[in-house]
Homo-oligomer: A and B are copies of this chain.
Amino acid sequence: MTIKEIAQLAGVSSAAVSRYLNGGYVSEGKKEQIRKVIEETGYQPSAQARMLRTKKASLVGVVVPKINSESISRITAGIESVLAERGYQMLLAGTDNTPAKEVEYLRLFENYPVDGIILVGTMFTAGHRKFLKETKVPVVVIGQRTSHANCIYHDDYDAGKAMGQAVAGFSKKGVAYIGVTRDDKAAGAAREDGFIAGLKNAGVTLFEENKRTSAFTLESGYESALDLLESKCDIDVISCATDTIAAGAIEAIQTYLKKQIPTNAADAGARMRYILENTSIRVTGFGDNQMLKAVTGGIPTIHFGYKTSGIRGAELLLDNIERGEQIPIEMKLGFRLVGADPSDSENLT
């Protein structure tokens, strides 16, 4: 079904149909004829051709590192809320934490009918910088600071610092840290540096041998934590760069302790009691994951305004698109330390 065929069937010109579709001048009579034909044929104009013509898609492309993540979904929820309100739709592309794919999808969106792009960033490669420099499409980066585009990021350093201080507050023995690649300036470098600074402020040192680097997955967190435990270092806190990693660490601690449960402790209660009585290792995270909080009762973690960053990011982008705003903007969002209150100390691990 094309606009031409509709025009023929309705006995009018294609221009008339186009105007009908877009609210231009059409006499009542013709309006009616056209309406009927469209109704009957179930015609839908090709968004594609329309976009080729108008250079306008009412569509925003969002590139995210992974889709199964609460933080990301909070960001996209924020984006969506703004877009919906202003008549846009959102297309998502997940890159599975692969920087190369990130650039691929950026390129796709660039030559695709989207009005703008939001990149939820992890790390910047030369490819990224090249893209940001060259592209004519409005782009907003969320989650990383960059001078190559408008960006909204979180105060990872100070968050890490706050966590470091809190941890120093309740740690009696030693502290371990499971971070992520420092190529990720925000979740990798900033959180770790902040954390270490926070500890130091309180007179605590994070020893090199108590540091591990994990991928952004639960399994990887599990491995890192187990490795830490088996190294027999004297620690009572494992701080992790994300709540997902923290979940892996919690699992590792349980696995590790179970191995040592006296064989005569047959029933579940007794075994669990053993674990409880022997667990003096606390785990902390970043991100304030909802499920983790629900099930554990809440470990110390950092709440970032992810939804807010999504909202602000979308607003920035739309202003850019619609009003051609050109002043570069950088926006830093704060955080909230949660679950570190001593009264919450019934937390399992």
- Measured CB to CB, the residues of A under 8 A from B are 42, 44-49, 51-52, 59, 66-70, 72-74, 76-77, 80, 89-94, 96, 104-105, 107-108, 110-113, 134, 218, 222, 244, 247-248, 250-251, 254, 258, 268-269, 271-273, 276-277, 289-297, 345-348
Contacts and interface: CB of A to CB of B under 8 A. Distances in A.
Work out how many copies of this chain go into the complex: 2
A273 B269 CA distance: 9
Contacts of A72: 67-68
Given A291-B292, A348-B272, A89 B104 contact: yes
Nearest to A53: B52
A73 B68 contact: yes
Contacts of A70: 68
A17 B291 CA distance: 54
A112 B46 CA distance: 7
A127 to B, nearest CB: 13
Contact of A47 (B68, B80, B112, B295): B112
Contacts of A108: 47, 59, 89
Nearest to A261: B346
Given A47-B108, A93-B91, A112-B48, A346 B291 contact: no
A222 B258 CA distance: 29
Contact of A247 (B254, B269, B295): B295
A interface, over-half SS: helix
Contacts of A68: 67-70, 72-74
Contacts of A248: 294
Tell me which of A93, A289, A290 has the highest count of chain B C-beta atoms within 10 A of its own C-beta.
Answer: A290
A113 to B, nearest CB: 5
Contacts of A268: 345-347
Given A80-B96, A90-B93, 5 more contacts: A68-B74, A92-B94, A251-B293, A268-B346, A289-B291
B250 A295 contact: yes
Contacts of A52: 46, 48-49, 52
Contacts of A111: 44-48
B89 A92 contact: no
B76 A94 contact: yes
A272 B338 CA distance: 20
Contacts of A294: 218, 222, 247-248, 250-251
B44 A346 contact: no
A277 B269 CA distance: 7
27 contacts: A46-B52, A46-B111, A47-B112, A48-B48, A48-B52, A48-B113, A66-B73, A67-B76, A68-B68, A68-B69, A89-B104, A89-B105, A89-B108, A90-B93, A91-B93, A92-B92, A218-B291, A222-B294, A244-B291, A247-B294, A250-B295, A251-B293, A254-B297, A268-B345, A268-B347, A271-B346, A272-B348
Nearest to A107: B44
A92 B268 CA distance: 44
A76 B72 CA distance: 16
Nearest to A250: B295
Nearest to A348: B272
A104 to B, nearest CB: 7
Nearest to A42: B134
